[in-house]
Structure 1
Amino acid sequence: MVSGLINANPIVYEKKERRTRSTPADVDEYAVEAIDQLEIFEHIRDIKDPEHPYSLEELKVISEDAIEVDDKHSYVRVTFTPTVEHCSMATVIGLCLRVKLMRSLPSRYKVDIRVAPGTHATEAAVNKQLNDKERVAAALENPNLVDMVDECLAPSYE
């Protein structure tokens, strides 16, 4: 076991079965389909935890229920729950969520990443960092941090 982890033995949950949205047969193939909660979840469910070999879904850091989408106003909010109250990787997890959605969604979307209320000791500070454009841009200029984010976003071939 790796030493020095805040949560050395996290509870690991079973992954949900993958689901796809059904498209009615009479929909124009060139029509822009609305983005919904399931689509957002499918984009982020396989992000790996920075400290453990598990996905954020397996650790219940993210869930489909904690995603809000307002397609009409191009707004997405993802609320995540760190595995422990003093998770030192909360900002990295939030940055991974933000980067994955920046890479996956059309640029018209405003993405709001939040720590679930009452689940982290420095919730307000983490939320402020994750939703400040300048702080996110500065973080993404740090090559070590970008490498860590890219590692978390790299597909796993199970």
Structure 2
Amino acid sequence: MAGRGPVPGRRGELARFVTVGAFTFVVDNTVWYLLKLTVLVEHPTTAKGVGILVATIVSYVLNREWSFRERGGHQRPHEAALFFAVSAVALVVNVIPLYVSRYVVGLQRPHVDLVTQEVADFLSGSVLGVALAMSWRFWAFRRWVFPEGVPETPKGAPRP
């Protein structure tokens, strides 16, 4: 199925998905750092989870309306339930590297200095965790949430 814009098909979907991901990466990290440096100082994995949750809500709207629009999708309640179920798995996948870095490897204060802790948090939570979760989401969104074979919604018509 042809994609919208200059890049057709699956590559177009991937390009749009990555663009949405880049935007929600900023949303996630902004919320995460605001919380972990203020009200959730002692709970960085909780702060990361909240950041991911906020970014997931933004991601649903952008992916539904732009990244996978041509796929038709399911009726919205069903589509939203699938989207958030896939995203719940992705949240766990995303937080595991941060949890391991902090609590298994011990890359947190007082065992390491603040700079080492923050670099380890960023690399584990925002690089490795995001990469793993993004791979899962792209595959699962195409497979279950926005599958091909569902009749397209005519341009300009509201989606079911």
- TM-score of the pair, normalised by structure 1: 0.30
Q: Say which structure is richer in helix.
A: 2
Greater length-normalized contact order (CA 8 Å, ≥ 6 residues apart): 2
